[in-house]
Amino acid sequence: GAVVSQHPSWVICKSGTSVKIECRSLDFQATTMFWYRQFPKQSLMLMATSNEGSKATYEQGVEKDKFLINHASLTLSTLTVTSAHPEDSSFYICSASSIGQGPQETQYFGPGTRLLVL
Amino acid sequence: QKEVEQDPGPLSVPEGAIVSLNCTYSNSAFQYFMWYRQYSRKGPELLMYTYSSGNKEDGRFTAQVDKSSKYISLFIRDSQPSDSATYLCAMSDQAGTALIFGKGTTLSVSS
């Protein structure tokens, strides 16, 4: 149980294009989903917190107009990187806090999406 | 001072060794402590979860939390080459909120 999937796992795109990343909780309902970004040999940095049916809360320094988050249901959240540039190249990871799947304080992570902007 | 400090390593040990991984933190409000394992180019996998102070054991893994010292540890007994990964400590002060991560310690276990 407690499986989180992400799609796609790898994206290569041209500068200026938009990329959508999906995060799904496969076997449980997630009250909250989180989006992180991880640069090589660095830790995970929280970008935003997403609750189903409400606007995402962004961390300081994260542009909400550039990183659009839609949390349409208790099992799906999407992150859209708009007008991507090479500096947006990174490993994007989502996680979900579960209802009824172990302690609610724990988060289950997706496998990540590697984005390369040329 | 960063909220969570973790020595990035790398840490290299022979197979069968006991490994000790540690994190210190500054926010005394943290109550929930986790250890995640991350293989290269993969998402983090939850290893251990501890609430407040104390010890927790699961197979070859033992997690310890000392809130008075703001110090948490993960011990791996009889380490295996498959344990080679980056280990991230994470913590939060409230249930269901975002986690604050350490930088991660890269562990290499040689056979």
pLDDT (tens digit per residue) in B4-17 = 999 888 999 999 99
Mean pLDDT of B31-48: 91
Total residues found in chain A within this entry: 118
Judge contact between A90 and A37, C-beta under 8 A: yes
Residues in A touching B6 (Cβ below 8 Å): 43
| A52 to chain B, closest Cα gap in Å | 13
| B102 to chain A, closest Cα gap in Å | 6
Question: Looking at chain A, which residue has its C-alpha nearest residue B4?
Answer: A43
- Verify whether the Cβ–Cβ distance A34 to B41 is below 8 Å: no
Residue the block writes with tokens 């806090």: A97
- pLDDT bin (cut points 50, 70, 90) of residue B53 is confident
- Which chain A residues touch B if contact means CB-CB below 8 Å? 4, 6, 31-32, 34, 41-44, 46, 49, 91, 93, 95, 97, 102-112, 114
Q: Please give the interface size between A and B, counted as residue pairs whose CB atoms are below 8 Å apart.
A: 60
Judge contact between B83 and B17, C-beta under 8 A: no
Q: Could you tell me which residue, A40 or A6, shows the higher pLDDT? A: A6
Residue-level pLDDT at A107? 81
- Which chain B residues touch A if contact means CB-CB below 8 Å? 6, 8, 32, 34, 36, 41-46, 49, 51, 88, 92, 95-99, 101-104
The dihedral formed by the CA atoms of B96, B73, B79 and A112, expressed in degrees to the nearest 10: 30
**How far apart are the C-alpha atoms of B103 and B111, rounded to whole Å?**
26
Residue-level pLDDT at B54? 86
- Verify whether the Cβ–Cβ distance A102 to B49 is below 8 Å: yes
Residue A36: in which H helix or E strand, if any?
A: strand A30-38
What's the pLDDT tens digit per position in A53-107? 788 999 999 999 999 999 888 899 999 999 999 999 999 999 998 755 555 557 8
